[in-house]
Amino acid sequence: MGRSVKKGPYVEESLMVKIRALNERNEKKVFKTWSRRSTITPDFVGHTLAVHNGNKFIPVYITENMVGHKLGEFAATRLFRGHGAKGSAAEREAEAAAAEAGAEGGAEKKKE
């Protein structure tokens, strides 16, 4: 609840113009928007907007449950790939290098 009730929800004017034009023509067309800060209003319901996440556009289908939320909430900006699992590639490489170093050291001792 960052915005005062007195001020009302913020919606990018150009976004509202596009949505109202589509509603008048009863058209459902995907269009791109960079306005992640815009609040979703009931006029948006049923439309699909391509919301920019900083890298690419994420298609977001607007439902009634989304009214009152911001567009940016539905287009994640960060990708969590998970923590390093046991037996990860880096760990296996380190073990292999240690094993090779140990094998080379043992061969030198036998020659002496």
pTM: 0.70
pLDDT of the residue at 2? 63
**How many Å apart are CA 95 and CA 73, to the nearest integer?**
42
C-alpha to C-alpha distances, 97 to 85, 102, 103, 104, 110, nearest whole angstrom: 19, 9, 10, 11, 21
Residue 40 to residues 22, 37, 68, 84: CA-CA distances in angstroms? Answer: 16, 9, 5, 37
User: Is residue 42 a contact partner of residue 11, using CB atoms and an 8 Å limit?
Assistant: no
Q: Where are the domains of the chain?
A: 30-77
- The first and second tokens of residue 23, run together, are 């509603």
- Give residue 92's pLDDT: 75
Tens digit of pLDDT for each residue in 63-108? Answer: 999 999 999 999 999 988 888 777 667 777 778 888 888 776 655 5
Q: Tens digit of pLDDT for each residue in 14-73?
A: 999 999 999 999 999 999 999 999 999 999 999 999 999 999 999 999 999 999 999 999
Q: Which amino acid appears at position 14 of this protein?
A: S
Domain 30-77 adopts which CATH fold? Answer: 30s Ribosomal Protein S19; Chain A (3.30.860)
- For residue 40, the model assigns a pLDDT of 96
How far is residue 61 from each of residues 18, 34, 38, 91, 94, measured CA to CA in Å?
16, 16, 15, 42, 46
In sequence order, which ranges of the chain are alpha helices (DSSP H)? Answer: 13-24, 89-111
